[in-house]
Structure 1
Amino acid sequence: MKSSYNKKYGIDEVRLLRFIKETQLEKYEKLKLDTETGKTNFFRRLSDIIRKDGVVSVLKNGIKCYPVENAILFYHALDKKRPASFDEFNSNIFAVTNQFTYSESNPALELDLCIFINGLPIITMELKSRASSTGWTYKDAEEQYKNERSNKDKLFEFKKCIAHFAVDENMISFTTKIDGKDTKFMPFNKGVNGGAGNPVNDGTMTDYLWKYFLDKETLTSLIVDFCNVVKDKESKKETLIFPRFHQHRVVTRLLADVLEKGVGQKYLIQHSAGSGKSNSITWLAYRLVTAERNDKKVFDSVIVVTDRKVLDSQISKNIRNFLDVSSIVGRAGSSKELKEMLSDGKKIITTTVQKFPYILKDIGTTLKDNNFAVIIDEAHSSQSGKAAASLNMSISGKVDFNEDFEVEDLLSALIEAKTMPKNASFFAFTATPKARTIEMFGSAFDVYSMKQAIEEGFILDVLKNYTQYQNYYKIYKTIEDNPEFDSKKAKRKIRSYVEGQEFPIRQKAEEIVNHFINNTKNKINGKAKAMVVTSSILRAIDYYYAINDILKNTKTGYKAIVAFSGEKEYKGKKLTESSINGFSDKETPIEFKKDEYKFLIVADKYQTGYDEPLLHTMYVDKVLNSVKAVQTLSRLNRSAKNKIDTCVIDFANDPEDIEKSFQPYYKETKLEKTTDPNKIYNILSDLDSKYVYEEDEVNRYVELFLDDSERYLSDPILDKCVERYKELDEEDQVEFKSGVKSFLRTYNFLASILPIGQVEWERKSIFFQGLIYRLPTPKGNDDLTAGILESIDLESYRLEKRNAVDIILENEDGQVANIDTGIGRKSEPEMDLLEKIVANFNDIFGNIEWQDKDNVERQIRELPNMVMKNERLKNALKNSDVENVKKEYGVALDKALRSIIKDNMDLFVQYTNNDNFSSWLKKSIFEEILERSKNMQEENK
């Protein structure tokens, strides 16, 4: 059949004409396709339409060609209610041609394989064998496409085919656009061991391509349900979208599970940055809204929830590209519009997270006869506080957010309010699932890992080229008196103070500017930009003025932008982001794209959800833990043309801590252990023993609450309890208030996942929610560090650069721990004389004489990590047994110190012979592991 291919128009004219004649004889005759003139006119019209709209549009919609209103070129609809649709589908002509000569200008050129539907080419392939005498691989096939296949030939015109595949026995890649040397290929592999590639099977590793994807029905679904041409309004650039393997996998697996189990399920999809989530969500929404089970629509409406207007607009546009029917697709700009659209039967509605919670109650009540699919995208908010405030007012009025708002907060809020309706299925997309999310949704339904995204080249590895800077300070006492202060808190306060002084900031700012000019400015063909992450708004403003002042003297023309939320008083003036930068804060991302702006200095803003591919280097002067470290450093991972690496300069964190933060999310994240419901009984027992309330008071309050009685009836009950609370000593007050918070947090979570509810717990929950906000702060919480900053000053400061390292993550799944259900205890202040605190601070951060100082410092920094790896100590920390923790800590520290003797005796000699140093080291490392354990528990709450 090679001779039937018309090289001028790029069609197999024999099969095309046969299909039309056999299925639409009347149209065949009207078009006069039995004459040369008729054929030429039709082929020319078909060629023009494909050039304009693409072969996908032609296959889906047919073409209009006078005098025929619509000539169908592909029967793709299979409808059980219309048996004739199966006969129509079977009339399609699927064909494969090998050793295909396609070129009009060079007749000798041959393509390994071309697949046709009804005479229209849809897929080309170049096949290579590693076992052949040449040893060629799919990479050689890619080069063949780039160098030997020209888009001047009709077959390789853009949009003429849906995809071009490079294939060998082990790997597959594809492209949707042949563009010479600029042709971009993407992997089309299953993934293996959480990374790139394909697993070994009984046949060829890549046999899934022809066994599954080239099946007639699967191929039809790819064309109808996935492939699409997207046009950017601004650049006018068109992109032909074809799903990557994991995108097709997650959508089809979710759909199959929905068809099997129906409504009311929860799904967690752990897909890394670089996974193309926006397209996956678009395809999923489209498939869910059309899904039928037992001859009935599964969902009446699909709600896509994001927390950024930009992403909301993007997904809305993507969905419209698929459906393009305003009566079906809607974008809700307000909670009122969202409610109206649901009531009016809009099929797919996109909205932001701020609007969505208002309608949750209606879904489960007034709209209870309808079924809904709710797709939630993490797309972390780039602005701290604003989205959180909106959600705080919406669900229960009692959810308190003090961190950057993200998908985890929405899910937790849904849990807290116990408002996940049974007539809705929830699909949550996140790259960094927390323990609560995993316990509620179960293990990830589908995983596309950070490891695979890096290995496949969709994101860059931000842990390569990581450089730590060590800070050294020396302070002195400025007063004659020697007052006492809380030494632990004083140490943190002093460090924050000295790092906020003009000289340390100026020195770090100079290092930042010099590093950028000497190492970064020529990256990405001179387009590279940097982000400076600071610990506070005041610190961000300090850096902004320091960096801009230094840049003026460089004659580069570079400038910095500062980003923070709200208003801040600085040196007697009230400043905002807009007043400093000279343009609206809404314009910050747009302005930063300009060549002159090279530094974006942030304070709790743009650390999550911000997508700027030209960000190459990050300067970190803020302690980062767990998810926050992953989200912040990941601002650098977006790929861009000529971007081959990234760089992190860290003034505040150790490489070991960053490694620990990233490890749980490198592959699949799993739950360490589930929450034990019996611990609620333990909490209630402790609370009951404080005699702050009586059972009849609880019962009476709950009755009044459920009857919606006036507050003057219920308030006296709570007032009595508050008075009893005030009579408790300080330690009991701390334990009672923290216990109430722990109960509410744990019960509200468990109430949404336990199959059998407990009436006693629900009553106590109602009572405690009324009581908690009336309980005053425990007495005795005075600031025992007040006045210390007026008593000291900075004597010297030194910044020392460490060697750049590549942080290598372990090739294993990660674990996250669940919430701590214990009661908090009051920590006793450790009072020290100012003179001793100053000396201790200088001992830690000043200059100490060692035989091999660098090695000792490295060993000291490594000790907490070595100690924390001790399994017995980790178990003790989880169980909150202080005495056991101290015991296991001593054993673990001794083991760690003995293990480093062979490396260097210097530290061990000081530890064994110098009592002061030994005590300081034991205490410092113990405090460090307690703090780390606390932070890990807090991050997973």
Structure 2
Amino acid sequence: MPKPNETAFENHFCHQLEVAGFDKRHHKDIAQNLCLHTDELVEFLKATQPEKLQQLKTEYGQTWRSEIADKLNKALQSKRLFQILKDGLEINSQIHLNLVYFAPAKASDTRQKALHLKNRFSYIRQYHFESGNQHGTTDHKKSVDIVLFLNGFAIVSIELKNIGTSGSYSEAIKQYLQRDLSLPVFTLPFLHIVCDNETAMMAASFGRPPSAEDFRPFNKVILRTPENAWQDKKEYPVHYLYHEVLLPESLLNYIETYLYSGKHSNWIFPRYHQQRSVRRICSDIAGQVERTGTLNLRYLVQHSTGSGKSNTIVWLVQNLRNLHVNNTRLFDSVVVLTDRVNLDGQISDNFKGAIDSTGVVAYTDKTSGSNITLKDALQKNYKVVVSTIHKFSHLKDLENQTGKKICVIIDEGHRSQEGNLHEKMTDTFDAGTGDELEKLAGDITKKVYPNLCFIGLTATPSDLTLERFGRKNEKGEWEPFDVYSMDEAIAEGYILDVVKNVIAYETLYELNYKYDSEKEYPPLQIYSALKKKAFEDDEVIKEKCGIIATTFKKQTANKINGLAKAMVVTSSRLAAVKYKLFMDEVLQKRGLKYKTLVAFSGTIHHNGQNFTEAGMNAAVLQERKLEEAFEKDGTIRFLIVANKYQTGFDEPLLHTMFLDKSMSDPKNIVQTLSRLNRTAPGKDDTLTVDFTNSYDNIIAAFKKYQKQVTSHKDARPEDLYELKNELLKKGVFTAVDVEECLALYHSEKGEDAAALYAYLVFIKKAVEAKLDVEERRVFRTLLSRYVNFFSYIRTLFHIPQGELHELYLFSSLLYKYLDTTMTAAELEAEMRHVKLKNYDISKVDVTTAEEDEDDGEGGEGSGNNGGNVTSVSKMATVAEVVEIINLRFQEKVSPEGAEVIEGYANSMALNEELAADIRNNADKNPEELYQKIIKDKLVKYYTDYIIKNNPLKYSELTDERVLSLVSKATYQMLRGRLGV
């Protein structure tokens, strides 16, 4: 029976490589300075270019091998090895060696196919990178478990670990970092893999200095069910490496269409979900066309922020532009539409890095220095055309390309920050105001396009987007073609979970209305206007600025190694102007050396002055661009925005958001809060401070796109004490143990470190002796929950030094010792997934209501705070609406209760008995009529309705103040409907 150790794992891995077509080779044949297996290269040249090899030998005699090495060394001074493999090696003006042959695009190209089959794939097990150790005993610090070669060139290095014997993948990462990573075996390959039996990480190249962050997750399945569960059960969970990723054809495909230079002379390698989506789309398109002979195809790719959509688009283009069906190139052109106004950004930079051939890519945007139109680019047969969506006003340019097949990739991932344009732009796919962008999406689904294929990429698809671009699953539900969810991006560490830390402020206040007017307006119009006025009130904004300054200083300023920044999202441009003025004033009074920037469009008239974004920022920007200054100037810590920078703004140092703009649209909520989720060194959490009482909306919005979201709105600070008691009840440690451990922990005596370790091991033994496996898991979970709760709560409240502090330190120490295979990094990663609870920590005398016109989300029936009691009435006076607002905010009810109240109000609107009572007594005093006749009937109907529809909410909804509020509001609504 084979033993489950690293040797067995390595044996299996290498066997699978041989099955895939790799030949085993020996280390002694390697030229160390180039990590080159010369004999393999020679055999490849003999099989594919014998005439050139003979010419090389004739011209250079016995030095022909060293001539190849010299030319290779010289080429490596300006190119990466994967580029040299693709381009070939120039020996002299007469001799050019091809170093690899890719698969032919056309199956009929038999010559290319024959050459392609002569590529030589090999591997060396235990590759020793220090010559003195080539034939000695294995030294894992001086050898790599497996190195893969293509035609003699090292292209991949692999370090394996077996969980339970040689450690986890994190131990393999440590080994890499202990080595001299400037050696050829670490600089020439385009991929370095570390993996244990379950988890894989990869590095394309190493930073200077190298760090563990160079390795990123490279997993097939994080949170979803494997595609072939039975097959996966018979294999190591990382079998996809040797069954998919490292197959000879996959490696060739990476070199041919995926690898290109990125920042700092490094290169980009596709993550698993990126290559999966590209492979699936290309395969499906080819299959559909082969079966039907036509296009008219639509695909939706839902990839989270942090998924690398810009790179995915580049790789889609690279593979689609060369896609062949039945020996014919399928697409004449691939068009990329992006809603980034300035194409001199990430997408164009990526294309320039990936496609360096002139005449291949056209940019139809003046800001990129191009005057070419989409129509011109297509007529001139550019293979790739990149255009901004706002310049793409209709589909005629594509429809009129007679006889041409075109793939259109629509990128929703980047948004303009230019105010006027951005305010007019709507979701690329969603219906809205009927502008050109949504007309584009509407037209796509209304017509048949036999020559077009559409691929949409978005992180937050709406229901309409799913219907227009998605596909129906077995349950009849619309779903995307390919998904990389927020949960996966969070689990892999590419983004942070922004829902974990949300502080919800109550934002209730009463309005003062003294003007006597009986003029009637639609209630929602009044409601929106009142809400807007409240959010622009000077005293209210001043009070919030004080809270912002305090919160930032205590909870944010020291985050991300003291570099953390904040965004203040305001409800209107006037509010943004006031926030800028008052924040600067508050910061100066408190002696805080922080600077602010404000972003809004147009000109605002306030207190007899005209305010513009440029004018208000002039002293801080000093002719710099706003984005650049906010990123690089450490003194600028606040960005105040009004309808700008809420989408498409990627600033990793953004840690905290102060939300003072009511939002109800799930997509808008997710996109706005996702400004915080970018990762950065030293950034391990985020914070959202909500002034709008939108916590329920936030949770509901993220649940639409992120399954691992739990609302803990009803949590109490007493949970710390409850957790403490639960831990002590397990009987594995006592308060005395806590005290003695911490005494050792704080001791300055060197020998006490050993004593502390021994004490913790003693407690660990108690855990193992007193608790079974399941109880141990529960115990560890309780410890981690306590640590996380304490860390969160102490950011909100001052917790006096004492038993809670002591238990926090003790729990942090003990947790690490309960699983000896867990590293500190793994501990930190696991604890991040523990959901934290939210507390209403303060009250601010400000109200929230439905969206106003600035938000672009309003409209009748969009309210969500406490039920839409007021929206039932067709007309009302300002005084009546103010009264109802004030009454409903004097007593809060839960969201479920609000739904009951709204249902009751709607049912009363149809009650003919009450309507008759009001009409028949139209001449009586309204208040007298209410008190003597209507009130009792309303109360009876109300209580009956609750008992019938939600009896669990009876005590909450029949509270005297709630009962009075609902009855009076319903009465006013009925009178308004009857016009009396």
TM-score (norm 1): 0.71
Q: What does the per-residue CA deviation read over 1:98-138, in whole Å, with 9 as the maximum and x for residues that have no partner?
A: 122122476542211111011111111111222x534x222
* 1:137 match: 168
* 2:681 match: 641
Gaps of 5+ in 1: 670-800, 810-818, 849-856, 927-941
**Structure 1 596/867 Cα, relative in aligned 2: closer, same or farther at 3 Å?**
same
CA distance in 1, matches of 2:237, 2:944: 50
Q: Does structure 2 retain, via aligned residues, the 8 Å contact 1:371–1:423? A: yes
2:205 aligned with 1:177, yes or no?
Answer: yes
CA distance in 1, matches of 2:410, 2:527: 42
Alignment of 1:734-753 (within 5 A): none
CA distance in 1, matches of 2:251, 2:361: 26
CA distance in 2, matches of 1:456, 1:198: 22
CA distance in 1, matches of 2:875, 2:389: 44
2:122 aligned with 1:82, yes or no?
Answer: no
CA distance in 2, matches of 1:198, 1:459: 28
* 2:13 match: none
2:221 aligned with 1:191, yes or no?
Answer: yes
**Structure 1 657/252 Cα, relative in aligned 2: closer, same or farther at 3 Å?**
same
- 1:296 equivalent among 306, 310, 328: 328
Alignment of 1:96-107 (within 5 A): 96-104=123-131, 107=134
Alignment of 1:345-364 (within 5 A): 345-358=381-394, 360-364=395-399
* 2:473 match: none
2:41 aligned with 1:16, yes or no?
Answer: yes
2:362 aligned with 1:330, yes or no?
Answer: yes
Q: Does structure 2 retain, via aligned residues, the 8 Å contact 1:562–1:601? A: yes
CA distance in 2, matches of 1:94, 1:491: 71
Q: Does structure 2 retain, via aligned residues, the 8 Å contact 1:286–1:319? A: no
* 2:53 match: 28
**Structure 1 649/354 Cα, relative in aligned 2: closer, same or farther at 3 Å?**
same
CA distance in 2, matches of 1:862, 1:197: 39
Deviation at 1:219, TM superposition (A): 1.9
CA distance in 1, matches of 2:423, 2:570: 23
* 1:42 match: 68
Q: Does structure 2 retain, via aligned residues, the 8 Å contact 1:312–1:351? A: no
CA distance in 2, matches of 1:569, 1:485: 26
Alignment of 1:590-629 (within 5 A): 590-593=628-631, 594-625=633-664, 626-629=666-669
- 2:952 equivalent among 894, 899, 913: 899
Deviation at 1:910, TM superposition (A): 2.4
Deviation at 1:864, TM superposition (A): 4.4
Amino acid at match of 1:242: F
- 2:706 equivalent among 659, 666, 685: 666
Q: What does the per-residue CA deviation read over 1:534-557, in whole Å, with 9 as the maximum and x for residues that have no partner?
A: 111111111010001112234343
Identity of aligned residues (%): 31
Matched residue SS, 1:354: helix
**Structure 1 155/347 Cα, relative in aligned 2: closer, same or farther at 3 Å?**
same
CA distance in 2, matches of 1:266, 1:325: 29
Q: Does structure 2 retain, via aligned residues, the 8 Å contact 1:463–1:807? A: no
**Structure 1 613/922 Cα, relative in aligned 2: closer, same or farther at 3 Å?**
farther
* 1:278 match: 310
Amino acid at match of 2:258: F
2:160 aligned with 1:127, yes or no?
Answer: yes
- 1:632 equivalent among 672, 678, 684: 672
Alignment of 1:240-255 (within 5 A): 240-255=267-282
2:485 aligned with 1:453, yes or no?
Answer: no
* 2:297 match: 265
Deviation at 1:14, TM superposition (A): 2.1
- 1:426 equivalent among 454, 479, 485: 454
Q: Does structure 2 retain, via aligned residues, the 8 Å contact 1:527–1:614? A: yes
Deviation at 1:205, TM superposition (A): 1.7
CA distance in 2, matches of 1:520, 1:259: 51
CA distance in 2, matches of 1:245, 1:465: 29
* 1:238 match: 265
Q: Does structure 2 retain, via aligned residues, the 8 Å contact 1:467–1:803? A: no
Q: What does the per-residue CA deviation read over 1:827-867, in whole Å, with 9 as the maximum and x for residues that have no partner?
A: 53464794x76665554445x7xxxxxxxx5xx24434785
- 1:910 equivalent among 959, 963, 967: 959
Alignment of 1:313-324 (within 5 A): 313-324=345-356
Q: Does structure 2 retain, via aligned residues, the 8 Å contact 1:362–1:368? A: no
Deviation at 1:195, TM superposition (A): 9.1
Q: Does structure 2 retain, via aligned residues, the 8 Å contact 1:195–1:452? A: no
Deviation at 1:578, TM superposition (A): 1.5
Q: Does structure 1 retain, via aligned residues, the 8 Å contact 2:300–2:455? A: yes
Matched residue SS, 1:357: coil
2:595 aligned with 1:570, yes or no?
Answer: no
Deviation at 1:352, TM superposition (A): 0.6
CA distance in 1, matches of 2:508, 2:422: 38
CA distance in 1, matches of 2:481, 2:81: 34
**Structure 1 5/503 Cα, relative in aligned 2: closer, same or farther at 3 Å?**
same
**Structure 1 89/657 Cα, relative in aligned 2: closer, same or farther at 3 Å?**
same
**Structure 1 112/541 Cα, relative in aligned 2: closer, same or farther at 3 Å?**
same
Deviation at 1:321, TM superposition (A): 2.7
- 2:550 equivalent among 514, 519, 542: 514
Matched residue SS, 2:460: coil
Deviation at 1:45, TM superposition (A): 2.6
Count of matched residue pairs: 740
CA distance in 2, matches of 1:483, 1:389: 32
Q: What does the per-residue CA deviation read over 1:422-457, in whole Å, with 9 as the maximum and x for residues that have no partner?
A: 321101001111222211223311111111111111
Q: Does structure 2 retain, via aligned residues, the 8 Å contact 1:198–1:205? A: no
Matched residue SS, 2:300: strand
**Structure 1 440/565 Cα, relative in aligned 2: closer, same or farther at 3 Å?**
same
CA distance in 2, matches of 1:668, 1:513: 32
Q: What does the per-residue CA deviation read over 1:389-409, in whole Å, with 9 as the maximum and x for residues that have no partner?
A: 9889x99xx98359xx9x7x3
Matched residue SS, 2:181: coil
Deviation at 1:487, TM superposition (A): 6.9
Amino acid at match of 2:457: F
Q: Does structure 2 retain, via aligned residues, the 8 Å contact 1:171–1:205? A: yes
CA distance in 2, matches of 1:863, 1:496: 26
Amino acid at match of 1:168: D
Amino acid at match of 2:357: V
Amino acid at match of 1:369: G
Alignment of 1:673-752 (within 5 A): none
* 1:156 match: 186
Q: Does structure 1 retain, via aligned residues, the 8 Å contact 2:655–2:685? A: yes
Q: Does structure 2 retain, via aligned residues, the 8 Å contact 1:329–1:348? A: yes
Deviation at 1:347, TM superposition (A): 0.7
Q: Does structure 2 retain, via aligned residues, the 8 Å contact 1:195–1:451? A: no
**Structure 1 115/380 Cα, relative in aligned 2: closer, same or farther at 3 Å?**
closer
Q: Give RMSD over aligned pairs.
A: 4.2
Gaps of 5+ in 2: 1-25, 290-294, 471-478, 710-794, 799-833, 839-858, 862-869, 913-937, 975-980
Q: Does structure 1 retain, via aligned residues, the 8 Å contact 2:943–2:958? A: no
CA distance in 1, matches of 2:503, 2:306: 25
Stretch moving more, 596-605 or 31-40: 31-40
Q: What does the per-residue CA deviation read over 1:25-49, in whole Å, with 9 as the maximum and x for residues that have no partner?
A: 3333444499663323321331342
**Structure 1 481/660 Cα, relative in aligned 2: closer, same or farther at 3 Å?**
closer
